[in-house]
């Protein structure tokens, strides 16, 4: 009798576990959807002539892009579907939205066809960079190959905030249209380059107190003056990658490459494809 009485209880526990796992599986997708929403929001605000709001949408999309990957790994709910959905959202938020912001805020329409083409180059390079990230294995430990698309988008967004900060301080600074177009194109080319950029995924946690202090200092600076802090971080990260790459070429001290992944086995003759 006791075993029969325990069966419904066990079934209820199994059902509850399945429902809990299902909710955890959906959480990263919801965060990816938030990333996509803020990318769309940034595009809409760029069309409406609100560049600072568009920049804020891109920054929020970056936050949710970081969260969805972390949550997926913590909940062990990574999937091929999630990876593809994340890439689609990133194409909108970090490929289309920054290009539209640069085109609108930089007044690139006055350049005519070159303005359109150079802005589109950013979107095309971001899409190519995301596709390459999905299908290729990393060549160096702890490094991205090429400038990550969220970082490139962050440079565009933080530059807009920094220009607004200068103007609010009384400066009459106005970037020439050709300089904006050249900068956006350069960011696009850096995304599809083979220059290694640090990923910071393997942060040294051997000294957690020091790491915590650095995080608190960085957060404090962002809260006090986000325009200057985020712009400085973006420019330094973008420039340090090529400088380190050139230094390693000059000193003949290349990064050690990871071994090539083992090729997938060929399907046996007669097996179902």
- Long-range residue pairs from 20-28, CB within 8 A, at least 24 positions apart, any chain: 21/77, 24/75, 24/77, 25/75, 25/77, 25/79, 27/71, 27/75, 27/77, 28/68, 28/69, 28/71, 28/72, 28/75, 28/77, 28/78, 28/82
pLDDT value at residue 111: 94
Answer yes or no: is pLDDT of 270 > 50: no
Question: What is the rounded CA–CA span in Å between residue 104 and residue 42?
Answer: 11
Question: Which pLDDT belongs to residue 262?
Answer: 56
Pick the CATH number of 17-251 from 3.30.70, 1.10.287, 1.20.120, 1.10.8: 1.20.120
∠ CA 197-159-84, nearest 5°, is: 50
- For residues 75 and 25, is the Cβ–Cβ distance under 8 A? yes
Residues 6+ apart with CB under 8 A from 176: none
From CA 227, how far away is CA 161, in angstroms rounded?
Answer: 5
DSSP 2-26: HHHHHHHHHHHHHHHHHHHHHHHHH
Nearest residue to 190 via CA among 126, 96, 119: 126
* Over residues 112-140, mean pLDDT: 91
Comparing 85 with 207, which gets the higher pLDDT? 85
The label of the residue with tokens 């919801």 reads 30
Give the pLDDT of residue 209.
63
Q: From CA 206, how far away is CA 183, in angstroms rounded?
A: 38
Q: For 157-186, how does the pLDDT look when each residue is reduced to its tens digit (9 = 90+)?
A: 999 999 999 998 888 878 899 999 999 999
Query: Does residue 1 register a pLDDT over 60?
Result: no
Mean pLDDT across the chain: 84
Please tell me the least confidently modeled range out of 6-10, 81-85, 133-137: 6-10
Per-residue pLDDT band at 9 (split at 50, 70, 90): low
| CA 265 – CA 197 distance, rounded (Å) | 32
Q: At 88, which helix (H) or strand (E)?
A: helix 80-91
Q: Which of 103-112, 130-139, 187-196, 236-245 has the lowest mean pLDDT?
A: 130-139
Write down the pLDDT at residue 269.
Answer: 42
Structure tokens at 114: 């070159």
What is the pTM for the complete model shown?
Answer: 0.82
Q: Do the beta carbons of residue 177 and residue 106 sit within 8 Å?
A: yes
Residue 67: CB atoms within 10 A of its CB come to 16
């Amino acid at each position: 009798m006791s075993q029969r009485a325990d069966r419904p209880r066990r079934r209820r526990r199994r059902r509850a576990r399945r429902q809990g796992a299902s909710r955890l599986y959906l959480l990263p997708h919801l965060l990816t959807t938030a990333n996509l929403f803020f990318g769309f929001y940034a595009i809409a605000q760029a069309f409406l002539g609100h560049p600072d709001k568009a920049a804020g949408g891109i920054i929020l999309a970056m936050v949710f892009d970081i969260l969805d990957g972390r949550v997926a790994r913590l909940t062990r709910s990574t999937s091929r579907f999630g990876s593809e959905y994340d890439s689609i959202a990133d194409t909108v938020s970090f490929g289309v939205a920054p290009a539209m912001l640069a085109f609108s805020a930089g007044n690139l329409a006055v350049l005519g066809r070159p303005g359109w083409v150079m802005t589109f180059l950013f979107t095309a390079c971001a899409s190519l960079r995301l596709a390459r990230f999905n299908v290729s294995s990393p060549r160096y430990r702890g490094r991205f190959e090429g400038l990550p698309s969220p970082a490139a988008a962050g440079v565009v967004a933080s530059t807009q905030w920094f220009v607004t900060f200068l103007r609010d301080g009384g400066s009459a600074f106005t970037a020439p249209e050709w300089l904006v177009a050249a900068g956006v194109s350069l960011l696009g080319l850096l995304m599809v380059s083979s220059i290694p950029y640090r990923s910071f995924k393997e942060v040294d946690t051997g000294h957690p107190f020091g790491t915590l202090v650095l995080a608190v200092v960085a957060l404090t600076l962002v809260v006090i003056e986000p325009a200057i802090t985020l712009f400085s971080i973006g420019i330094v990260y973008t420039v340090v990658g090529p400088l380190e790459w050139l230094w390693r070429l000059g000193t003949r001290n290349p990064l050690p490459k990871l071994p090539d992944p083992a090729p997938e086995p060929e399907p046996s003759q007669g097996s179902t494809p």
